[in-house]
Amino acid sequence: MGDTQDWAAEPGPAQRARSVLAAAWSCQVTADGAREEYVGAHSVTDDGEVLLRVPEDSALLAAALCAPRGEPSAVLEFADVAPVPVRRRIRARLWLAGWFAPADGPLLFRPTRVVLRQPSGAVLVDSGEFAAARPDPLAGAEAQLLTHLADAHPDAVERLTRLVQPESLQAATRVVPLAVDRHGLTLRIERTRAHGDVRLPFHTPADDVTQLTERMHALLAQASAAACPRALGPVRRIKSQGGNGG
């Protein structure tokens, strides 16, 4: 990958799961056969428990609170959707199985089983590691950062392709910023009937947006120093049709 560092550090499953949970705006809840979707109705505690605000007449409320103590009473599902429209836009899904505890105000959901599914496959996340993990420091700002990069700086996205192996760019029709975290930037390379993802690691992790800006400048400097631009042909860099499928 050009002159980029050999190491390709990425968030571990526990931190990735916490990042999905932190950034999600909606969730689907299944309890006793009832399935409901809530938008903007949940918040997350420091140890990964979920506070969910539901209407008093919700079937979920009765089903969750009447479940036998200690048995999983519900499953919460969260989807991680790429901010920039791309084919197969759902980057990950997170399932939390557990039980609701009585609480004043919102329902308190305590997860006992955590499953994270990414394109590489599903992994069972240790519940203790999940509780102790913290979301990626860029998780809350990622959507704004990526859409700004895609909309305002398509030239920078194209320049970054100089750090990508030539074979990964064969038949490419569009290159889009897919994800960013403290460890690196991921580009989605789309072709007519397929796609692939390439990760560009930062030289050191970024702990905030200011540090991310420096890491991005370092990547662009590496790209500018690359031997020559990649011949991408008629690449549509950003605003083409993107699907919402998972």
Burial code of 9-27, b = ≥16 C-beta within 10 A, e = fewer? eebebbbbbbbbbbbbeeb
Domain boundaries, the chain: 13-132, 142-224
178: pLDDT strictly greater than 50:
yes
Instruction: Decide if pLDDT at 233 tops 90.
Output: no
Whether 1 shows a pLDDT value over 60: the answer reads no
The pLDDT, as a whole number, for residue 58 is 82
Q: pLDDT value at position 228?
A: 56
pLDDT digits (tens, 9 = 90+) for 47-101: 999 999 988 888 777 776 676 765 668 999 999 999 999 989 999 999 999 988 8
pTM of the model as a whole: 0.86
CATH topology of domain 142-224: Split barrel-like (3.20.180)
Confidence at residue 244, expressed as pLDDT on a 0 to 100 scale = 44
* Mean pLDDT, residues 218-230 taken together: 81
Write down the pLDDT at residue 72.
62
Instruction: Tell me what pLDDT residue 240 has.
Output: 38
Segments in the chain forming alpha helices (H): 13-23, 59-66, 127-132, 142-152, 154-160, 209-224
Q: Which residue matches tokens 């920039």?
A: 84
pLDDT at residue 8, rounded to an integer: 45
Rounded mean pLDDT of the chain? 87
Tally of CA atoms within 13 A in the half-sphere of 190 that contains its CB? 23
Please say if the pLDDT value at position 160 is more than 90.
yes
In the predicted structure, residue 181 carries a pLDDT above the cut 90:
yes
Q: CATH homologous superfamily for 13-132?
A: Electron Transport, Fmn-binding Protein; Chain A (2.30.110.10)
Q: Could you give the CA distance from residue 160 to residue 164 in angstroms, rounded to a whole number? A: 8
